[in-house]
Amino acid sequence: MQTYDITTIDGDGIGPEVCQATVAVLREACGSRLRFQAHAGGASHYARTGAVLPEDTYAACRQSHAILHGAAGLPGITYADGTEVGNDLHLQLRFRLDLFANVRPVKLYRGVQSPLRDWQPGQIDYVIVRENTEGLYASRGAGVNLRGELATDTLVVTRKGVERVARFAFELARQRNGAPRDGRRRVTCCDKANILRSYAFFRAVFDEVGAGFADVERDHAYADAITVHMLKKPDFYDVIVAENMFGDIISDLGAGTVGGLGIAASAELGEHHGLFQGAHGSAPDIAGQNLASPVATILSGALMLRWLGGRHADAELLSAATRVEQAVQAVLAAGETVPHDLGGTATCTAMTAAICRQLG
Ligand code: IPM
Ligand code: MN
């Protein structure tokens, strides 16, 4: 039986709690199939050593089957240019491992109250695919600040970058059952093609790729308009693809419509590597108090199992992915162990134990 080497990076704030909770759940689900190796990284590590992503950690990430991360970043630990150090852990891994598709499911689970009145579980179920290696983020660390009087960052859109993320989105739509509203397989391009050439180019390449997927509907929405649509007609969406910065923004909005970032999973995928983490931050204000919800990271762990299972044709791992997702959904639906971010009082350890019991 193949075993898989998983590099874990606890990181900062609540990162250690949620990452270790996820390791416990994945061990419960997969036994000895997964071998975990913890490595250092993040803002607190930088404060001690000057390295936010030590080379031995990066080497382990490059050589392992997948990467599981808690969270990174601490307020006040910034570079001279004012940007946050901790975020560089994510960004260095994204750019150096070329993790071009940031996959962010937006799904309303039974037992979770959406702030959108009248929408029920099953009616909000789409995936945001955020281009993860260019866009406005290509300017990270490369922007201009001239004499403290002028600052610029450049939005970069490449043909290769759009082709591969659009193709990923269309292929993902083929694996799904279509939008809740009408069952139509649909990919929506989120852009501002009406205003900027870079986004007009993004849309044009999206359409070129989409022309090869006659069975999947092509849809377009401007980034401002889609924020309204995501609130007024969330059931219309199946897969949304967006440039990096727009994807960052609308994925938080999407998470907010289904319970918040405490339930927001993410899978950052490239051709050869995968980084799995909750889409939330390090929440230093509640760190070390057993208050954090591990749900987002555990659901990201399930995404990791599904990704590994697909890449290695490993039916047992695919089954484990489903069991972890179902265990989380069962705990949320039962409503007896509810994390703080969803209005309950369950601790991180209590949520973890409840999900492990469902797996047992
Ligand atoms: C996210 C976060 C990151 C981003 C930060 C932590 C680098 O907001 O993953 O959505 O800006 O992409
Ligand atoms: Mn974000």
Residues 350, 337: contact at Cβ < 8 Å?
yes
Number of neighbouring beta carbons within 10 Å of residue 142:
9
- Give the distance (Å) from ligand 2 centre to CA of residue 116: 21
pLDDT (mean) for 125-154: 95
Structure tokens at 246: 């727009």
The active-site residue, picked from 88, 191, 248, 341, is 248
What whole-number distance in Å separates Cα of residue 101 and Cα of residue 167? 10
Q: How much is the pLDDT for 141?
A: 84
Q: How much is the pLDDT for 81?
A: 85
Q: How much is the pLDDT for 283?
A: 96
Q: How much is the pLDDT for 20?
A: 98
Q: How much is the pLDDT for 297?
A: 98
The residue whose CA is least distant from atom 12 of ligand 1 is 248
233 as an active site residue: the answer is no
What whole-number distance in Å separates Cα of residue 267 and Cα of residue 172? 13
Measured from the alpha carbon of residue 71, the closest ligand is 1
pLDDT (mean) for 292-308: 98
| Residue bearing the bigger pLDDT, 164 or 118 | 164
The residue whose CA is least distant from atom 5 of ligand 1 is 87
pLDDT (mean) for 4-12: 98
pLDDT band at residue 19 using 50, 70 and 90 as cut-offs: very high
pLDDT band at residue 10 using 50, 70 and 90 as cut-offs: very high
Q: How much is the pLDDT for 172?
A: 98
> Which residues lie near ion ligand 2 (Cβ < 5 Å)?
248
Number of neighbouring beta carbons within 10 Å of residue 109:
23
Residues 70, 277: contact at Cβ < 8 Å?
yes
Q: How much is the pLDDT for 1?
A: 86
- Give the distance (Å) from ligand 1 centre to CA of residue 248: 7
Pocket around ligand 1 at a 6 A CB cut-off: 73, 87, 90-91, 248, 279
Q: How much is the pLDDT for 316?
A: 97
What percentage of the chain has pLDDT greater than the value 70? 100
pLDDT (mean) for 255-284: 97
Q: How much is the pLDDT for 360?
A: 87
pLDDT over threshold 90, residue 85: yes
pLDDT (mean) for 313-329: 98
Question: Which atom of ligand 1 is nearest to 244's Cα?
Answer: 12
Q: How much is the pLDDT for 32?
A: 94
The active-site residue, picked from 153, 192, 207, 222, is 192
109 as an active site residue: the answer is no
The active-site residue, picked from 58, 109, 137, 199, is 137
pLDDT (mean) for 245-270: 98
For residue range 185-230, list pLDDT tens digits in order.
Answer: 999 999 999 999 999 999 999 999 999 999 999 999 999 999 999 9
